[in-house]
Homo-oligomer: A and B are copies of this chain.
Amino acid sequence: MFHEIVLAGETYAYETSTTKKQAEKIWLEAPRKTYVFEEDGKILGTYYLKTNQAGPGSHVCNCGYMVSSQARGKGLATSMCEHSQKMALELGYKAMQFNFVASSNEGAVRLWCKLGFETVGRLPNAFNHPIRGFVDALVMYKWLQT
């Protein structure tokens, strides 16, 4: 799943040449938590949760989500994002930030908005899309504590 999504180069800021070992480090070892969503023993989706900035920024977490191409359109990203917000609060975070959302990834932007995230930043031409070329990247943010 990681390989499929990263190879497309349209959504995640990882090298398309990322090896399995590097992917394990990025997705499983470096984050604070990683979850998978299974059905009949098959992994349909996964997300990680980690502290976004250390020290004075450590009350804000960051998540990344991946849905297998076979499992799209079933609301899995919504479920994972809602689950992650709940877990973030349980772990003591006050806010969640997505650092680098390709503005061309319109489905994701729409979904995060619907789930309460705001676009708080726009990085001009910061994402090099394989087809569209340089597009803006968005910073999205949600204060979780009420």
Total contacting residues, chain A, CB less than 8 A: 38
A56 touches B129 (CB 8 A): yes
Interface string of A48-66 (1 = CB under 8 A from B): 0000011111111000000
CA gap between A94 and B125 in the complex, in Å = 10
Which A108-146 residues have C-beta < 8 A from chain B?
120-130, 137, 139, 141, 143
Cβ contacts under 8 Å, A97 to chain B: 123, 126
Q: Which residue of B lies closest to A138 (CB)?
A: B121
Q: Give residues in A with beta carbon < 8 Å to B.
A: 6, 9-10, 12-16, 18, 53-60, 94-95, 97, 99-100, 102, 120-130, 137, 139, 141, 143
